[in-house]
């Protein structure tokens, strides 16, 4: 019985370590995708940021509406001063979103005209197998 319990425990731990490594790899890829996408937004290349976003994002907002909205949100903040990852969390279920593979990332950000901001960027593994931004929010 002890051998069986040990085998089950060892298998469970191996699975947990594999899952944790997979989550960590997903988080790393998603952070890279988010940072690449944010560079487009920082450069005011809003049309390209829409082009590079996830299909879910594109289905929720037209390119013209995105351009108008992001200009109104980011423009007044001024240029980026600093940005660093604060948190990142892998999830397969998010409120109001279809099941999938997501990473919710928060960045501590400072802009010229807003010294302390929190950007939340949510990349997802898109249908083409690439991590792409599906959501963006500044607080």
- The pLDDT of residue 3 is 38
- The pLDDT of residue 11 is 37
Q: What percent of the chain has pLDDT over 90?
A: 81
In this predicted structure, the answer to whether residue 121 has a pLDDT above a threshold of 90 is: yes
H/E element, 81: strand 80-91
- The pLDDT of residue 23 is 82
Q: What percent of the chain has pLDDT over 70?
A: 84
Alpha carbon distances (Å) from 86 to 16, 54, 105, 117: 24, 23, 7, 11
Confidence of residue 20 (pLDDT cuts 50, 70, 90): low
Mean pLDDT, the chain, whole residue set: 88
In this predicted structure, the answer to whether residue 105 has a pLDDT above a threshold of 90 is: yes
| Region 36-60 average pLDDT | 97
Quick one: tokens of 119?
């950007």
Homologous superfamily assigned to 2-138:
NTF2-like; domain 1 (3.10.450.100)
Domains of the chain, by residue range, sit at 2-138
């Amino acid at each position: 019985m002890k051998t069986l319990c040990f085998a089950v425990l060892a298998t469970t731990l191996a699975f947990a370590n594999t899952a944790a490594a997979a989550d960590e790899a997903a988080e790393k890829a998603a952070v890279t995708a988010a940072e690449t996408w944010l560079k487009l937004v920082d450069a005011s290349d809003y049309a390209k940021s829409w082009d590079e976003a996830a299909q879910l994002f594109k289905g929720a907002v037209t390119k013209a509406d995105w351009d108008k909205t992001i200009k109104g949100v980011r423009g007044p903040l001024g240029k980026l001063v600093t940005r660093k990852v604060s948190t990142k969390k892998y999830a397969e279920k998010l409120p109001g979103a279809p099941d999938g593979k997501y990473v919710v990332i928060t960045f501590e950000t400072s802009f010229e005209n807003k010294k302390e901001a929190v950007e939340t960027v949510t990349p997802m593994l898109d249908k083409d197998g690439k991590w792409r931004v599906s959501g963006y929010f500044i607080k």
